[in-house]
Chain A
């Protein structure tokens, strides 16, 4: 069943939903990345919640003028208008009051959403409202998705991606270093506004599929996921598009493969699954990699300390240190140093003395800055420099029996 869904074999509606959701996932992932890089990810939550009053008012207006209240284009236009109003309020609050952006987001989000819910309730008590299905905008509803709906998503997503391609360089510059961008004469606040406009477009287009409460997940999670895998912003953008598209496609297919699985939330869970995989297994920034890195570092520290202790004839109490020395064949089971151990211990101690010379000599300032107790001195100084230092230290010191 899931296989059929993934291969788009589950009928017209399921195919339409899968294609629409995938396009939405790609454009949301790409757009959201710039928001994430600009560290304004939560603004998208305020924008999405601010769409609700607009949807309701558009419905009331269209119904009361005798039209079809459910006309999708009309509803989306309404949502865009009220989302802009919310965004404007947010910008005004942060610019003209002492409210920090997080507090402003909280205020705008809750007030607009509360107002929207009131309107929604009013509509439901009206005669025409019962069949309106506006609740679908809260969590998304794909059951009755039409060809026209899919086209709205496709066109909206494509236009968004095109615009992003056009202004990706200024957006990246503003996200990384807004002061420098301003000094170069880039219109920073206009670029920010354009970015928010794109986010709004994606939000509005995605209302029907994932709903306004969860669209934020489609904007942010793919970017966060992508960030685990790369250190380049252009790759983050591409990977986020990929992650967004993939989770939307698989999520839509899964929800179609079984009855009563809501599309939007399943898509969000799919993108969470990708996030979790990245969090755990990403090569550099992942949790597992960090743990391994730390363990490796710890072993180096213990080995070094153990060797220095051996060289100076000090007792070793740490179990890990002893185990590492034993495994390396440097001490015997009873804790006595082997010949290899003695040699390496002598070398470690000699390197410490060399480092001491380096660190006290002003001429070696750059090299001294690299001392961390673990670094091999040969990786910092040339053989000639080391020989020179050895002349200062004098002949080899007695190695402990």
Chain B
């Protein structure tokens, strides 16, 4: 009886792993001897928008980067749509933090978006009008069509962020991972980005966002993943985005007033 139950449990877990767009098991990432992320499991639900939330330095971005193999992990397994990461690269679109690149780089907006078509272009493939049309379409989706031939250094922070999103859209991926896309952007950009993400979700895509604004979590997202070096909670916003879980994630870093306010907002 007991054996059967545990077998069932195992089977269910395997099923879950195979279906999940991004499943992380036992991920530990460390800079030097200090783990930034310790033994974290995450199972992203398909077709939903998930927010990764936690205080500064809690390992949110690091977890995402390790999941993509950008920074090396000490231990852990990553599965993307039930297969190893390397086999599934084409299905993932990553939007790095805006501040991670030099915006004085000599390139135009359209060239950045065309980088999203790298796989289609290959090493020597010629740039065709169809590639350009795809890139323009992605720029239009984020409301940046008029900026295609601008130098990227002339853009505002919010516009830069939208260009990064357009580059991800150009890939035509199934899983979108965004690192702090709303950090330091104007209201118009925030609205544009969330609109695009919701369109993606409506098309059955999966979206995971490292997010820092607790006030908008319930409005924007279906699921949350709370992390502070270790995983604190994971699940639907209605269940897991609770005052108790936030207290456990942020500890003393969240003022009592903030917690009360959130508790009120959450009902």
Contacts and interface: CB of A to CB of B under 8 A. Distances in A.
Nearest to A183: B94
A185 B86 contact: yes
B86 A176 contact: no
Interface residues of A, number: 28
Interface stretch (A147-155, A198-206, A226-234, A274-282): A226-234
A169 interface: yes
A169 B107 contact: no
A169 B106 contact: no
B68 interface: yes
B29 to A, nearest CB: 14
Interface in B173-207: 177, 186-188
B115 A176 contact: yes
B258 to A, nearest CB: 25
Nearest to B119: A184
A37 B86 contact: no
Given A182-B68, A184-B89, A227 B121 contact: no
B108 A183 contact: no
A180 B123 contact: no
B130 interface: no
A182 B70 contact: yes
B70 A184 contact: no
B69 A182 contact: yes
A180 B187 contact: no
A180 B94 contact: yes
Interface in A354-376: 365-366, 369
B96 A179 contact: yes
A231 B149 CA distance: 10
Most chain A CB neighbours (cut-off 10 Å) among B106, B151, B186, B187: B106
A173 interface: yes
Given A180-B115, A183-B96, A231 B107 contact: yes
A385 B13 CA distance: 59
Given A169-B123, A184-B118, A233-B111, A177 B106 contact: no
Interface string B113-131: 0010011010110000000
Given A166-B124, A182-B68, A231-B151, 9 more contacts: A166-B123, A176-B101, A176-B105, A179-B94, A179-B96, A182-B70, A184-B119, A232-B106, A233-B105
22 contacts: A166-B124, A169-B121, A169-B123, A170-B118, A176-B102, A177-B100, A179-B70, A179-B100, A180-B94, A180-B115, A183-B68, A183-B69, A183-B94, A184-B118, A185-B89, A230-B106, A231-B106, A231-B108, A231-B151, A233-B106, A236-B106, A365-B187
Interface of A: 37, 39, 165-167, 169-170, 172-173, 175-177, 179-180, 182-185, 227, 230-233, 235-236, 365-366, 369
- Listed from nearest, the 5 A-B pairs whose CB atoms lie closest are A183-B94, A185-B89, A231-B151, A182-B70, A183-B68
